[in-house]
Structure 1
């Protein structure tokens, strides 16, 4: 199981290629940040890169690595193409044009408590996945 913590890391093509070469080998990919919708856990509406949710999770697991005094406000410039902002399509961001400090979402309201509350159901769902994979066959 590949557990990704970085948006934009899409392993589907590689997994398909490996599944063809190794048909008896099961590979599963999951993005921890998309397992549970964050809307009921965090205040931020725009929050997808070093904002409130990611910062809260980091504060929960490694508070010594977070210095909110140095954090920016996460102000960002959306794409000029509305369909890209609506996630109809995807294109890589040019960070020098999209943000001042590469943050998209304000980390100032982050807390270890929010991170812990959010990660509890994420870990529960991942634990269930690991258990199910270990208990049976794919089909």
Structure 2
């Protein structure tokens, strides 16, 4: 049975716009569908830059980022926001001992939260 890949029929920029509609985990999964999709997603600074800027609205589009790849930054920002959101919802509240706190903060060893993020989290905990 012959398969048809729509990304081969569409202009590259239109394929990028379609992939831009996916969330980050879905985008990472889609990049594993085929070589063509992988190329379209992973070789596109446009998709990853737009994803990053949509997550991190404090950066203006005029700032240049040269030290990290847009993809790495977008994925990192996505997980930081997921972690912060979980903490703000109270998922890590009612910690009984230091070991519990260590489990909650293990993720932070990889993904750094800003001072403002921590301030917001601690204020929410105080308000509970």
Indicate the TM-score class for this superposition, using the shorter chain for normalisation. Answer: under 0.3
TM-score (normalised: structure 2): 0.27
Normalising by structure 1, we get a TM-score of 0.26
Structure with greater Cα Rg = 2
Higher relative contact order (CA 8 A, sep 6+): 1
Pick the structure with more strand per residue: 1
Q: Which has the higher helix share?
A: 2
